[in-house]
Amino acid sequence: MIQTVTKAITPAELGRTLMHEHLVIGFPGWESDTLEHGPTRRDIVARGVDRIEEMKSAGFRSMLDPCPSDLGRDVELMAEVATRANFNLVCATGLYHHELGAPYWKVKLELYPDASDRLAEMMIRELTVGIGETGIRAGVIKLATAQAPMTDYERKVFAAGAKASVATGAPITTHTDAVLGPEQVALLTALGVPAHQIIVGHSCGCADHDYHMTIARTGAYIGFDRFGLEMVIPDDSRVESLLRLVRAGAREQLIVSHDASWCFRGQPAAGEVMDMLGNIGPLHFTRNIAPRLRDGGMTEAEIDSILIDNPRRYFTGEPPHIAGQGIAGQGVTGQGISGQARAPAGHHHPAASST
Ligand SMILES: [Zn+2]
């Protein structure tokens, strides 16, 4: 079963899923801005329901909002949106990275020798009993690093996250600045977390195929979860990198999304990056990116499988086919998008649904 904010669902109920979108975020301390608290709860719920209705019209049934506890997470708001839109929303337990996360945990983890254990205990409670008094349970663990090197704080939070994952079986999804992905996986797997229960988030923030393949070879999922965020890197580059990974046999390890933030707490988002975060619609991938992937030789079924089968496998813990390992299925994908034998757009490759 997969835990959403309103109920537990079967893997089959998950369906087409966006794996990294935010109803609302607020950087720690937002509530101290007494000039501007941002949109009202009612506005946030209304916008969330609107966008989810848009997603439903394109066949989506589920969404993961991996907001960490210290980034304005509001699970009761999430549950209200999920109930009103009759939609599967999964929330996270976990903390943001050293630079932008909440000082509270930095102080605790520095001063109290048992703070990492206590943090793990809290995560386990949020995953198995509920978050605070809400009774709403998290479905995944969110961990984060920014620029290298990983800080001591981040290592301690990762250790707590690994402990909670091992104790509960909950999968982990991370934030990266498109560096430290392999280090994240190495740290977590050394602590007992299977690689196929980890998504290395925002890996599409660089165009380095070797970096992507280093993550792929570990067996972890590779987050191409910032489509539309062109201030970081153009979508053309993301499309090219993704196709290259598919050709290398990593299709079952790809996770796609936009990392949009539909609302911001505090002062409205400023700057182009933040404007873009707020304005990326939930159908950017299916409307604007999927056609480019089809032009690149992928079949509709292969793209659907990234939106449906990969999230399901991640949540259920069923291992994906791993790039570079000679298991049946890899060759099919390779042929499917090799330049010479490219199928015309809309043509379904006969082998498309073989894996
Ligand atoms: Zn995010």
The confidence score (pLDDT) of residue 320 equals 96
The confidence score (pLDDT) of residue 231 equals 85
Radius of gyration of the chain (CA): 19
Residue 114 near residue 38, CB atoms below 8 Å: no
Q: Which of 38, 98, 41, 101 is nearest to 68 (CA)?
A: 101
Q: For residue 354, is it within any domain? A: no
Using the mean position of ligand 1's atoms as its centre, give its distance from the Cα of residue 354 in Å.
32
CA dihedral 173, 100, 131, 43 (to 10 degrees): -100
User: Residue 91 in 3-state DSSP?
Assistant: strand
Contacts of 276 (CB under 8 A, 6+ apart): 228, 229, 230, 231
Contacts of 210 (CB under 8 A, 6+ apart): none
Using the mean position of ligand 1's atoms as its centre, give its distance from the Cα of residue 346 in Å.
32
The confidence score (pLDDT) of residue 329 equals 44
The confidence score (pLDDT) of residue 275 equals 67
Q: Tell me: cis bond preceding 149? Omega within 30 of 0 counts.
A: yes
Using the mean position of ligand 1's atoms as its centre, give its distance from the Cα of residue 20 in Å.
6
Global pTM value: 0.91
Triad 284, 290, 295: Cα angle to 5°:
140
Using the mean position of ligand 1's atoms as its centre, give its distance from the Cα of residue 103 in Å.
19
Q: For residue 343, is it within any domain? A: no
Q: For residue 189, is it within any domain? A: yes
Using the mean position of ligand 1's atoms as its centre, give its distance from the Cα of residue 66 in Å.
6
Q: For residue 348, is it within any domain? A: no
Using the mean position of ligand 1's atoms as its centre, give its distance from the Cα of residue 64 in Å.
10
Using the mean position of ligand 1's atoms as its centre, give its distance from the Cα of residue 351 in Å.
34
Number of domains in the chain: 1
What averages of pLDDT result for each successive group of 10 residues across the chain (355 residues)? 98 98 95 92 97 98 98 97 98 97 95 95 98 98 98 97 98 98 98 98 98 98 96 94 98 97 86 71 96 98 98 97 69 42 36 34
Using the mean position of ligand 1's atoms as its centre, give its distance from the Cα of residue 280 in Å.
13
Q: For residue 6, is it within any domain? A: yes
Q: For residue 345, is it within any domain? A: no
How far apart, in whole angstroms, are the C-alpha atoms of residue 327 and residue 312?
20
Q: For residue 342, is it within any domain? A: no
Whole domain around residue 300: which residue ranges?
Answer: 2-336
Q: For residue 160, is it within any domain? A: yes
What are the phi and psi torsion angles at 164 (to 5°)? -65, -35
Using the mean position of ligand 1's atoms as its centre, give its distance from the Cα of residue 111 in Å.
29
What Cα–Cα distance (Å) separates residue 33 from each residue in 6, 30, 38, 226, 266?
Answer: 31, 6, 9, 28, 6
Q: What is the CATH number of the domain that holds 157?
A: 3.20.20.140
How far apart, in whole angstroms, are the C-alpha atoms of residue 291 and residue 241?
15
Among the residues of the chain, which ranges form H helices? 11-14, 41-57, 75-85, 103-111, 115-128, 152-168, 181-190, 209-218, 235-247, 271-279, 284, 290-295, 300-316, 330-336
